[in-house]
Structures are given as structure tokens and as C-alpha cells.
Structure 1
Amino acid sequence: MEGRAAPDNDQQRASGPNRVLAGAAAAAAGAFGRWPWYAKVLAVWALARLFSFGLFLAVAARQELNPWGWEGTPSYLQFIGAWDSEWYGKIFSGGYPAEIPRDATGRALENEWAFYALFPGLVRALAAVTGLGWEVLGPVVATAAGFGAALMVYRLFAMKASAGTALWGVVFVAVNPVSPILQVPYAESLNLLLLAAALYLLVQRRYLAAVPVVLVMCLSRPVGVAFALMMLVLFIRRWIRRRTEPFSLADTWRMIVLGLASGVGALAWPALAWAVTGDLRAYTDTETAWRGDHLLLFKPWFDEAERLFGPVLGPAALLLLVLLTALYLNSGSVRRLGVELQVWCAAYLMYLFAFLNPLTSTFRLLLPLFPLGLALAFLSTSRAYRWTVAAGFLVLQIVWVAWLWRWTPLPGGGDYPP
């Protein structure tokens, strides 16, 4: 009788460590699965921020010529304190100018009024208590706000998806290509926290509770116009459907109050700039100082399209972009977000199309579209798909930091802003 073949010793030795590693990975995954939701979210966010921290250090080691006067390799705090962080630092130290600086032709020059006061004001208040400076407190406040935003984003996503899918949505927000901005002294992380909280209350139809959140949010970043537009669309939708979907009198006036508050919040910063400087166009002229032109709705997109693709293909390419965006916003995965988040994304994109001058900073300004992170998670429950998307985002982070955050002078001077 022929005996069973003896096992290969080399194969046994190779499979032993593999089984140990597989067992350890399964045990770690099981332990992670038993953590409370907030611990999982904070752990995911911490790992993402640690990756971005290492990425900043690696790219900083390759920074040479720069306009900030660094000699040798800049430190982490020096490196993340560049670009608009410098403007926020100026506001922290000296506030806002009493009048808009202008050149000989009357055109506004770049100045602090382009940057909203909530973030530097919060850092300044903490500095008065702790005695620490901008260089330390700016990144600390931005990073802490990012962790708060992660928790709020999860709570919002968990209203629309299972716990696992909601966590993957947070993963995609945490590692998205521009997510390193959530730990530098910019207002993005604070705005993300407040926006997620406002949308969370909106989805719950706690309209009056959302009012103070929205008003404060409108002092962090210019998102009030988009929020007011979203409220208008949602109100009209509920009014049209009132015969089939209950729309009580209480909800009617509460939505009106939140919509009006959003409009007031959107106008608050331009009005404050006007009040301080006595210049009605203080804010709008300052915003357009970076583009060297007057504020003309939609025009910069057509100009940029024509510059990139020519006078015929340019408008066609822009039209194609708009059509593809509209199709995506009506896709199944985006509709699963619910009407409030779907309309928010559409309203914010409309705001960008109307007011934004499309530059390399456009990538960063897409961050308020964070609900699309959950839409990505809805596309497939496949682990291979989700890990591939996360890995792709990490690679794009490297591209974003190495290309845009690192100063590389252009032939005509300056550099593309992040």
C-alpha cells in the first residue's frame, strides 16, 4: 500500500510564520472590532495624520530655495507654517488692516481680509490663557479640530450607513489627497468640524439648533452662500411635496429661520470688512486681488478653459465637466447619502463654479464635499476595492504635498499655491 507523501520541510517552515502573522492580524482585527466607535474613529484619524506628518517631514528634507528664509531643512512646524498659514499668523499677531491697501491704480493688494477671523481668533484666545505662541498653538488647534471633525463626520455618516461603511467613509475623508491640510494652521479643519455638525443637525431636522452652528461656521470659511442656497432648494422641495410628505407649520418657519441665518452668516464677513474699513467692496476686492481682476461670476472658469484647451474646445470641455458632475451627483451612490447631503454637494459646487477662480488651490477647496467619501464607500463593500481607494489616496497625498506644498519656483517667478 502506497503511503501518503511526507510534507515538504521547507514548505512547513515557510507556512509557519505566515500562519502566525495571519493569526496575529486576525486577532488585531478582532480586537479593533470590539473597540467603541469613537476609539476606532480616533485611531483611524491618528494613523492618517501620522502618515501626513511623515510625508511633510520627507518633503521638507528636499526643500531648498524658498521665500520664507529657511536655512537648511525646515522643521515640521516651520514647513507647515508656510503659505496661507503665514497670513493667519499675521492676523493672530496684528489683526486686520483699518483700510484696504491699494496700488497706484486703485486695485486692492493681497491682505488679511481674505481670511476669516474664527480660527486665528480662537488661537489668540488660547494663547492668552496658555502663553504659547502661534507656531505651536496654530498646528495644535488645527489638528485638534480635525480630530473633532472626524467624530462629527462619523456621527453624520452613521445616520446613513452601517457602522462599518460609515467608518470606511471616515477613512476616505481622513486620507483624501488634500487631507494633510487638516493638521496645518489653516481654517479647513475647524470649518470641517462646524460644517459636519451643521449638516448633522440639518439631517435630523433640528433647524433651530443648527442656527448658532451655522453662524459660527460662516466666520471660519466662506461656505455660507452654499449653505443658504442648499436651504432654499430644500425648502422649495419640501413645499412642493407638502401634499405627500408632511411639512408642518413649525418645520416651515424653522427652515425659514435657518435659511435666513445662513444668508446673514454669508454676508457677515463682507459686512464686517465694510464696517471696519469703510469700504463697501473691501472683501470682494481683496478676494479678487489674487486673481488680478474684478469679481465676475462664472467668467474665470471659461477663461481658464479657453487658456487650457482653446476658444472652441475650452467651452466644450467645461460643458462636459458640468454634465459629468451632474450625472455623478445623481448617481445611485450619491443619492444614498440622502437629499440633504446630495443637495449640499450640488450647492457647494455651484458656489465654486460661480465665485472661484480655478487654480491649484481648487483641490483644497473641494474638502467641504466630504460627504462624497461615504458615497465612495457605498460603491462597493469589497475590501479589495476599499483598501485600493485608500492606498490610491495616500499616493495622491504624496503628489499634493510634493507638488504644491513644497516651494518650487516657476520660470516666471512664484509658485503654484496649495
Structure 2
Amino acid sequence: MSSRLAAAPWWVQTLVVWAASRAWAWAVFSTVGRQQGPGPWGDGPLGYLGFTGTWDSDWYERIAREGYPASLPRDADGRVQENAWAFYPVFPLLVRTVTAVTGTGWDATASAVSLAASLGAFLLVHRLFLRLAPPSTARWGLVLVGFNPVAPVLQVPYAEALHLLLLAAALLLTAQGRHLAAAPVVVVMCLTRPAGVPFAAALGITWLVRTVRRHRAGRLRRAVDAVDGLLGLAVLSCGAALAWPAIAWAVTGEPTAYTDTETVWRGGGALQPVVPWFDAATGLFGPVLGLVAPALLVVGGAGLLRARVVRERLDLLARVWVASYAVYLLLFLHPQTSTFRLLLPLFPLALPLAAVSDSRAYRVACAVSGAVLQLVWVGWLWHWKQLPGGGDYPP
């Protein structure tokens, strides 16, 4: 970072990082979009808005136009088919509201909403990092968030940018002890992306650890003193995490409407915790290494969270959030190419990554590597290339 930028107010630094990262992502999408051949969204090269408005953007647009089905669509054999209940409502309904006011089309409006949300997310992430690290490290942590391999998704018609904004706000407000202010943020966040369960777990575990520490320090004289704002926020988060499945049940009349819809994208069948990781690993590495790989992944993740730089740079809540979300993915995620995008909520790890070394060369190398991997990610997954068996890997 130049000395002039380092001397600027924190919000100016944020704007510079945001603008630079969004301009690079625009260049990546524009470049790859011009290489697009015939596919589901056109017969040849696509412009920026046309290219970014593909994949799940179609589902969000359909929800904005039509809402959610009153019953689950099924095939002749009674199996649930792909439908809108897999997608949470806040982003498409927000875009529909903005579209009704401005009269603009879906692609431009949805992209603009995501872009604006990404700016808010950058500001809040920077504020959160400034609580945890010196200004230079916080600034570079923000750079690594903005140039991480899947950061281009923060300006497309997906809910990721809005969720990152709400997640950063919830973490920041909770860290500041502003639990009442965090409550509506958490509720909206739980209706934006399916990460309410790990967030509720993170709040509950953080409350438990803090309560035990207070008790051991002799600062908790009565059990009732343990009932505080953090516990209340954790309980609220539990309810909010279950809100969307409950809404799907209420509208369709089927208790498992949401989970049945989610499993359609996994090939159908019952929701099986953990097992898909072993199935995917066996397919990639064979029957022996496939059984070992998930265990190694867990050991590596635990070692990462115990690393000195992570413990020094992240507070208890941030560490527990990272651990809770990782466990949630391990339990319920069906690993596939979309997994890369679903790692975005682990953004607090960018701060200790920046803190590994204060060498400018190291930090620039990390940022440049992420920027190059954005080209790989968009070129590999966003760019439609039909597979021999039909379809393509989703981003």
C-alpha cells in the first residue's frame, strides 16, 4: 500500500480497495464472457450483464417475478423436482422492490443491488478487522477478501454480497456488545442465505465459553447473571435459522419441503450428514484415500484454528464462527464445484492470512494469486461448457 493511501481515513482506504477489486472482477467477467459459446443463455459471446446474469440468477429472477410455488413440483414417479424453495427470499424480494421503484430490468437492478451490498460489506469487514488488528494488517486483510478467488460473485445477481454485508454487521455488532441492534440483522441474514444454523451455534458456544470463564474468575455469582444479551441473541438466531424451512412447510403443507428441495440438487434421496464428503473423496482419490481425505481435512482445519496467528488475530466469536460454519458444511454440504463459493463466509481467515508476515512482497503475492485464481474460477465454472453427459459444473 502506498503511504498516501495508508494515511487516508479508513473509509477512503475501503473505497479504494472495493473499487479496485470490483474493477478487476468486471474485467474478468467481461473477458471470459466474450469467449462464451452457445449455451442455455445465448448462442454466443455475452456482455457483462448478460454473462453475470446466468446460473442461479435465473432462479432469483423467477422468484422476483412469480414468488414461490404453493406445492412442490413432482415428476410422474412422485419425486420432488428443482424449485424455488431452495433459494432464500430477501435478495430477490429486495431487487423486486427496487425494480418496482426504478422501472429498471432484472440484470441491471440485481447487479446494482449486489454491488451496493458489496460496498457495505467491505466497509463493515474493514471496521471488524480494525477491531482485531493494526491498521496495516486490517487493510491487507480487506484486500485479501476483495481479491479472494470467488470474490467476483459479490457483484452478480446472487445473494452472496448481501449475506456478507449482514454477516459482517452481525459479527461486528455482537463483538461490540450491541445485541439488541444485532437482532434484526440476524433475522434478515437468516432469510438471505442458509447459514443461520452455524451462526446460532457460534453465538451459543461463545456465550457458553464466556460464561464458564466468568464463573471461574468469580464474576458470576448467580445463575441468573448468565442470562444476558448474547444468550438472547443466540436463542433468537435459533428461531430465525428455522424460519425458512417453517415457512416452506406452512405454504406447501409439507414438513420437509425445504430439505426435500435441497436434496434434489444432490440427486434426490434423504439428507445424509457427512456421507457425501466420503462419497466425493472416494470418487476423487479412490477407496482408500477417499476414506482418509475427509479425516485429514478435519485435522487440517482444527490445526488451522489452533495456529498462533489465528488465535492472536481473531477474537473468540470470529474463531467460533469459522469453526461452526466449517462443521456445518461438513455435516450438511454435498461437496461439488459450488463448494468454492460457499466458503466465502469464512472471510475472517483473511485477516490472519495477512498477518502471517508484514512483508509487502508476501501480501502482494497473496492478493495477486487470488486475482489470478478469479480468472480460473470464472473461466472454469461460470463459463458454460457442456459436459459429455449434458449440463455443466455450476459455480
TM tier, smaller: over 0.9
Determine if the alignment matches structure 1 residue 352 to structure 2 residue 352: no
Counting only pairs closer than 5 Å after superposition, residues 54-203 of structure 1 correspond to structure 2 as 54-68=27-41, 70-203=42-175
Superposed displacement of residue 317, structure 1: 1.4
Counting only pairs closer than 5 Å after superposition, residues 244-393 of structure 1 correspond to structure 2 as 244-245=216-217, 246=219, 252-292=227-267, 293-336=269-312, 337-393=314-370
- 3-state SS of paired residue (2:132): coil
Superposed displacement of residue 86, structure 1: 0.8
Superposed displacement of residue 177, structure 1: 0.1
Any idea what the Cα deviations from partners look like across 1:13-45, whole Å, max 9, x if unmatched?
Answer: xxxxxxxxxxxxxxx934323321101111111
Superposed displacement of residue 158, structure 1: 0.4
- 3-state SS of paired residue (1:205): coil
Superposed displacement of residue 299, structure 1: 1.3
One-letter amino acid of the structure 2 residue matched with residue 260 of structure 1 = V
Any idea what the Cα deviations from partners look like across 1:213-258, whole Å, max 9, x if unmatched?
Answer: 1011001001100011112211221222223444585663322211
Residues in 1 aligned to 2:241 and 2:343: alpha-carbon distance in whole angstroms: 18
Any idea what the Cα deviations from partners look like across 1:139-175, whole Å, max 9, x if unmatched?
Answer: 0000100000000000000000111111111000000
In structure 2, what is the equivalent of residue 232 of structure 1?
204
Deviates more, 1:232-241 or 1:314-323: 232-241
Residues in 2 aligned to 1:370 and 1:250: alpha-carbon distance in whole angstroms: 33
Larger Rg: 1
Deviates more, 1:98-107 or 1:218-227: 98-107
Residues in 2 aligned to 1:242 and 1:105: alpha-carbon distance in whole angstroms: 57
Superposed displacement of residue 131, structure 1: 1.3
Q: Is the 8 A contact 2:150 2:377 kept in 1?
A: yes
Q: Is the 8 A contact 2:198 2:324 kept in 1?
A: yes
Residues in 2 aligned to 1:342 and 1:395: alpha-carbon distance in whole angstroms: 28
Residues in 2 aligned to 1:151 and 1:244: alpha-carbon distance in whole angstroms: 37
Determine if the alignment matches structure 1 residue 204 to structure 2 residue 171: no
Q: How many residues align?
A: 390
One-letter amino acid of the structure 2 residue matched with residue 172 of structure 1 = L
Any idea what the Cα deviations from partners look like across 1:33-66, whole Å, max 9, x if unmatched?
Answer: 3321101111111111101101111101111021
Residues in 2 aligned to 1:251 and 1:348: alpha-carbon distance in whole angstroms: 25
Superposed displacement of residue 108, structure 1: 1.2
- 3-state SS of paired residue (2:389): coil
Cα RMSD of the aligned pairs, angstroms, is 1.4
Q: Is the 8 A contact 1:110 1:286 kept in 2?
A: yes
Q: TM-score by structure 2 length?
A: 0.96
Residues in 2 aligned to 1:362 and 1:95: alpha-carbon distance in whole angstroms: 27
Q: 1:338 to 1:250 in 2, by over 3 A?
A: same
Determine if the alignment matches structure 1 residue 45 to structure 2 residue 12: no
Identical residues among aligned pairs (%): 53
Residues in 2 aligned to 1:32 and 1:301: alpha-carbon distance in whole angstroms: 44
Residues in 2 aligned to 1:242 and 1:31: alpha-carbon distance in whole angstroms: 44
Residues in 1 aligned to 2:283 and 2:289: alpha-carbon distance in whole angstroms: 10
Q: Is the 8 A contact 2:6 2:136 kept in 1?
A: no
One-letter amino acid of the structure 2 residue matched with residue 208 of structure 1 = L
Deviates more, 1:132-141 or 1:311-320: 311-320
Superposed displacement of residue 206, structure 1: 2.1
In structure 2, what is the equivalent of residue 8 of structure 1?
none
One-letter amino acid of the structure 1 residue matched with residue 192 of structure 2 = S
Gaps of 5+ in 1: 1-27
Q: Is the 8 A contact 1:238 1:247 kept in 2?
A: no
Gaps of 5+ in 2: none
Residues in 1 aligned to 2:145 and 2:211: alpha-carbon distance in whole angstroms: 33
Residues in 2 aligned to 1:134 and 1:66: alpha-carbon distance in whole angstroms: 20
Superposed displacement of residue 339, structure 1: 1.0
Residues in 1 aligned to 2:43 and 2:291: alpha-carbon distance in whole angstroms: 45
Q: Is the 8 A contact 2:38 2:44 kept in 1?
A: no
- 3-state SS of paired residue (1:220): coil
In structure 2, what is the equivalent of residue 402 of structure 1?
379
Q: TM-score by structure 1 length?
A: 0.91
One-letter amino acid of the structure 2 residue matched with residue 270 of structure 1 = P
Deviates more, 1:75-84 or 1:236-245: 236-245
